């Protein structure tokens, strides 16, 4: 077994342990995210509330994907963007969602 194979195996074990930890403590982690978001929003006097909310939401989505990856729960894994080949959160390229000649 080569060095890269060994590192990949160890990384997979760590990833699995992290996923188990997140699954076990998901509610506490979400409360921590909410508390941090509220603190930052207070310190910035609401100037960045929309961005803080967006970032917190994305962090919670990622947390949910990690926590429920092995359970097969809805939302675990790839998200439906509506356009095949478009990464989550990205807008489809202009003209690609229309039929030719329209």
pLDDT tens profile 57-80: 999 998 888 887 755 545 444 444
**pLDDT in the model for residue 83:** 44
DSSP string, the chain: --HHHHHHHHHHHHHHHHHHHHHHHHHHHHHHHHHHHHHHHHHTTTTTHHHHHHHHHHHHHHHHHHHTTTTT-TTSSS---SSTTPPTTPPPPTTTTSPTT-
pTM over 0.85? The answer is no
* Average pLDDT value over all residues in the chain: 77
């Amino acid at each position: 077994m080569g060095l890269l194979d060994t590192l990949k195996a160890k990384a997979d074990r760590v990833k699995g342990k992290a996923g188990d930890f997140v699954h076990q403590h998901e509610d506490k982690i979400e409360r921590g995210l909410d508390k941090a978001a509220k603190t930052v929003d207070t310190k910035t006097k609401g100037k960045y509330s929309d961005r803080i909310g967006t970032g917190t939401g994305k962090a919670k989505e990622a947390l949910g994907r990690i926590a429920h990856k092995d359970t097969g729960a809805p939302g675990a894994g790839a998200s439906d963007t509506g356009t095949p080949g478009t990464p989550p959160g990205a807008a489809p390229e202009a003209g690609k969602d229309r039929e030719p000649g329209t």
